[in-house]
Chain A
Amino acid sequence: MIDAVIFPYHPDIEYLIELTSTDENFSITGVCSFNEDKAVVDEVNRRIGCELDYDSMMVACNTLIILENYRHCIVNKYFDVISKARDLNKKIIIMPQILEELELHDANLMPLKNYPDFNIPQIEKMNHMQMKKLEIETPVVVVFGMGKNCNKLENQLRLYQAMNEAGYKVAWVSSNALGVLWGSYVIPDFLFDQRISFEEKILKFNNFIYKIEMGAKPDVFIIGVPEGVSVFSCGEYNHFAEYSLVIGSAVPVDSAILCSYFISQPKYKGLQDLTQFCMAKFGFPVDAISIGRTLFETKEGSRNISYSFLSEEYVRKNYQAENSFPVSEINIWDKQKMQNAFCKIIEKLQYNADTI
């Protein structure tokens, strides 16, 4: 049983709280963050019924979960919080990106990574000239998106839960290390290695999935695709959709969920063009488009994208979809609609004699 304090504040905490509220193995004791986040964090803690101050919170929990530094804040407080947890003999789980940023080499810190039982370094060392692309027979659903922060993890997690509830054995390879908290594997590091060729990545990823298939014998795969497929003119290239191209080439994809940033008035034609583009370019048959609650904007003269993590209230008030959607419509804030879309995907896979 994990009783966790989360540091620092992250907009994803809002739905982590919701998801853990029904999880018997995982509860959130409280959230702590930088001093200036106090007003927002107090409100979050109030909602989860936490009235403890920071020190008492740390005493009460058994685990500290360190999230990534998505705002690029000054990192000094990370060291303080980790040191405190270490002194209190708490388990410290940390996102890999921030562990790298902090350059901490401490055996007590547990990076959020989960790989299958087989030897991944063995795949990494394999000479791709001798590798074959192997047949993946288990159906694959990919969850991919337009870019970073478009609620891919939440879609993967909820789909994972829906498939588990439907009685299927799911092997989930998450695009986000937080998925590990719910039992996912993570995307292996070789996918991001700049020294490895495109071809080699495809073969290695194919072998990685094949080994999971052989070892875990799942009924279905959920694969989260890191980053996005959109190239933004401000200079955020999303690796020119390399990860989608690699994954789409490595495994036969049976169904896909496209995660979009928040669009207040999505247009049928635009979405249809997008689904056709994803099929033609990546081989992703998009069965659902998930409208997220994050908005992005580019600042004139800047190469940075600024994200707005919108509230449920805001998205509900400002969303005006056309009556028809080219595929299933998911609104990340509408759980029923989401469930319906997942059911359709499960049905599609069930009635496909070649898959399930």
Chain B
Amino acid sequence: MSGKNEIIFRTFKTYQNYYVYDRHTGAVIALTEAEFNELRMIEEGKAPSEQSAIIKKYQMQGLFVPNVVKHIHHPNTEIIEHNADKKLVQLILQVTQQCNLRCEYCAYSGIYAGNRVHSTNRMNLEVAIKAIDFFFAHSIENSEVTIGFYGGEPLLEFELIKKAVSYVKENCNGKKIRFAMTTNGTLLQGERAEFLAKNGFIIGISLDGSKEEHDSCRKFADGRGSFDVVMGNVKKLSEDYPDYVENCVSFFTTVNPYMNLHCVLEFFKANDVINDKSIFYNTMVPQNLKEEVSYTEAYFQVRKFEYIKTLFYMIGKLDEKYVSRLTSNSVDKAIRLKKALHNRNELNEMMHHGGPCMPGILRLFVRYDGKFFPCERVNENLDYYNIGSVQDGFNLERMRALLNVGKLTEEECKKCWNLRHCLMCSNEIELNGKEQPTRKDKLLVCKEKKVQTEFDLYEQSVLNEFGYSLSAEVM
């Protein structure tokens, strides 16, 4: 934070150097110890900024401009109307709410407050066709689009999927369509496997590593583990359609407290059927869990070790082949931050923190009954997230509100040093039994986001001290 003149900055130090992050320009500058101490005093409100020679010195260089942000307003608020009419990117059809597994950590297992649970609700062909027609009628400016099938377990509704794909093909001859599906892999065999491969479906299979780790959570309703069935199907698919598996199949591993992370990594390392590059690690969604889930010390040890290896890779001390997919997204994150700090574009009067996507545009999730939601991750039971339906079209007002979640904390955001780097969508805010997020609950997430950004700036600075740089191609 700043002094009275609302010059907004954040000081921090590493073992070697002193730094300040200037919000207006988005730049990080190395300081002397004396400069750091003076700015820290101003930051803590113990000294006025007006009389600071350091502030004046850097103002001459275009930094420490007094706060210009007057409104928290998402820059895409106006264009959302056009994009909703002509630029939809991805349609996701919830073909069923049923699943043939009962995984311990599943979002629909009942462990999340207020969220739906598995049910026999299923989409009928009429709704699917209406959703597809709506999608085509609202995506004329996009020639490459994705149509995804989601559940529950979508392959339980294979006949519907076949009919929907057939309808798409009959009614589309200009756009390039990519079909996608997230599946637990238990039904991925025979005619179903052949159909997905022949239609080039991009599929994500949930697989949590070795038999022991996978079966500890991913079980059939009768309690049997699903590992043997899934791996059997994956092996057969790889034998029958090796190129398809190589190019179109990914594996999603949900890192959860019930597994031994070390064993999971070892399994994927040793497995010759699954390509390491096709594995994506997720963590359990922490929001709205009925009971807190805590990870073991062993989990953190493994994670930290892999993370250290990634840092070594980034400063050129380790070959890329030693970097685990578990932490490789840290590389992309560091690149994004480095670019953002390098760009130095100034803030405008109207700003909004990052995070909310254009609801319904990038992903239009259509529930079994034809109701629209911004994506498959939000709580479908809440009216707050319902952005329309196949019958009534889009609810633009609701979409604009979701996009402008920053308005909940407008006064805080205007003055927050983390405005540029804060990435938060409304789905990250704990609801605590309420129907929609509140300012109070959002501020709790703000706190976490600030800690995260402080850490990211620290990490970036330390990496730079050790010679981290981006290739010209990446820049």
Q: Does B159 contact A (CB under 8 A)?
A: no
A35 touches B171 (CB 8 A): yes
A77 touches B133 (CB 8 A): no
Q: Which residues in B have their C-beta under 8 angstroms from that of A71? A: 141-143, 174
Name the residue of chain A whose CB is nearest to the CB of B174. Answer: A34
Q: Does B283 contact A (CB under 8 A)?
A: no
B79 touches A37 (CB 8 A): no
B-contact 0/1 string along A62-79, CB 8 Å cutoff: 000000000111101100
A72 touches B143 (CB 8 A): yes
Name the residue of chain B whose CB is nearest to the CB of A313. Answer: B81
Partner of A77, one of B81, B174, B176: B174
A-contact 0/1 string along B131-149, CB 8 Å cutoff: 0010011011111000000
Q: Does B83 contact A (CB under 8 A)?
A: yes
Q: How many A-B residue pairs have CB under 8 A?
A: 66
Q: Does B82 contact A (CB under 8 A)?
A: yes
Q: How far is the CB of B48 from the nearest CB of chain A, in Å?
A: 33
Q: Which residues in B have their C-beta under 8 angstroms from that of A33? A: 174
Which residues of B14-32 are within 8 A (CB) of A? none
Given contacts A40-B137, A307-B141, contact A35 B82 (CB under 8 A): no
Name the residue of chain A whose CB is nearest to the CB of B172. Answer: A36
Partner of B174, one of A73, A310, A314: A73
Which residues of B195-222 are within 8 A (CB) of A? none
Name the residue of chain A whose CB is nearest to the CB of B140. Answer: A40
Q: How far is the CB of B19 from the nearest CB of chain A, in Å?
A: 26
Q: How far is the CB of B80 from the nearest CB of chain A, in Å?
A: 11
A74 touches B175 (CB 8 A): yes
Name the residue of chain B whose CB is nearest to the CB of A318. Answer: B78
Q: How far is the CB of A238 from the nearest CB of chain B, in Å?
A: 21
Q: Does B407 contact A (CB under 8 A)?
A: no
Q: Which residues in A have their C-beta under 8 angstroms from that of B137? A: 38-40
Q: Does A333 contact B (CB under 8 A)?
A: no
A-contact 0/1 string along B416-433, CB 8 Å cutoff: 000000000000000000
A34 touches B78 (CB 8 A): no
Given contacts A36-B136, A71-B141, contact A8 B83 (CB under 8 A): no
Interface centre among A36, A76, A310 (most CB of B within 10 A): A36
Q: Does A308 contact B (CB under 8 A)?
A: yes
Q: Which residues in A have their C-beta under 8 angstroms from that of B174? A: 8, 33-37, 71, 73-74, 77
A311 touches B172 (CB 8 A): no
CA gap between A39 and B139 in the complex, in Å: 11
Q: Does B471 contact A (CB under 8 A)?
A: no
A-contact 0/1 string along B143-187, CB 8 Å cutoff: 100000000000000000000000000111111100000000000
Q: Does A295 contact B (CB under 8 A)?
A: yes
Q: How far is the CB of A132 from the nearest CB of chain B, in Å?
A: 43
CA gap between A264 and B81 in the complex, in Å: 15
Q: Which residues in A have their C-beta under 8 angstroms from that of B79? A: 295, 308
Q: Which residues in A have their C-beta under 8 angstroms from that of B415? A: none
CA gap between A36 and B91 in the complex, in Å: 14
A311 touches B82 (CB 8 A): yes
Given contacts A71-B143, A307-B141, A308-B79, contact A36 B173 (CB under 8 A): yes
B82 touches A308 (CB 8 A): yes
A-contact 0/1 string along B68-89, CB 8 Å cutoff: 0000000000110111011100
Q: Which residues in A have their C-beta under 8 angstroms from that of B171? A: 35-36, 38
B78 touches A39 (CB 8 A): no
Q: How far is the CB of B323 from the nearest CB of chain A, in Å?
A: 20
CA gap between A72 and B139 in the complex, in Å: 14
Partner of A308, one of B86, B173, B175: B86
Q: Does A221 contact B (CB under 8 A)?
A: no
A9 touches B140 (CB 8 A): yes
CA gap between A318 and B78 in the complex, in Å: 8
Q: Does A309 contact B (CB under 8 A)?
A: yes
Q: How far is the CB of A6 from the nearest CB of chain B, in Å?
A: 15
Q: How far is the CB of B87 from the nearest CB of chain A, in Å?
A: 7
Q: Which residues in B have their C-beta under 8 angstroms from that of A72? A: 143
Q: Which residues in B have their C-beta under 8 angstroms from that of A295? A: 79, 82
Q: How far is the CB of A79 from the nearest CB of chain B, in Å?
A: 11
B-contact 0/1 string along A308-343, CB 8 Å cutoff: 111100100010000000000000000000000000
CA gap between A307 and B174 in the complex, in Å: 18
Given contacts A9-B140, A307-B141, contact A74 B83 (CB under 8 A): no
Q: How far is the CB of B94 from the nearest CB of chain A, in Å?
A: 22
Q: How far is the CB of B257 from the nearest CB of chain A, in Å?
A: 33
Name the residue of chain B whose CB is nearest to the CB of A40. Answer: B140
Q: Which residues in A have their C-beta under 8 angstroms from that of B172? A: 34-36
CA gap between A295 and B87 in the complex, in Å: 13
Q: Which residues in A have their C-beta under 8 angstroms from that of B143? A: 71-73
Name the residue of chain B whose CB is nearest to the CB of A317. Answer: B78
Ordered nearest first, which 10 A-B pairs have the shortest CB separation?
A34-B174, A39-B137, A73-B174, A71-B143, A36-B136, A36-B172, A73-B143, A35-B171, A40-B140, A35-B173
Known pairs A306-B87, A308-B82; list 6 more (Cβ under 8 Å). A34-B175, A35-B174, A40-B137, A71-B174, A73-B143, A308-B79
B-side residues, CB < 8 A to A, are 78-79, 81-83, 85-87, 133, 136-137, 139-143, 170-176
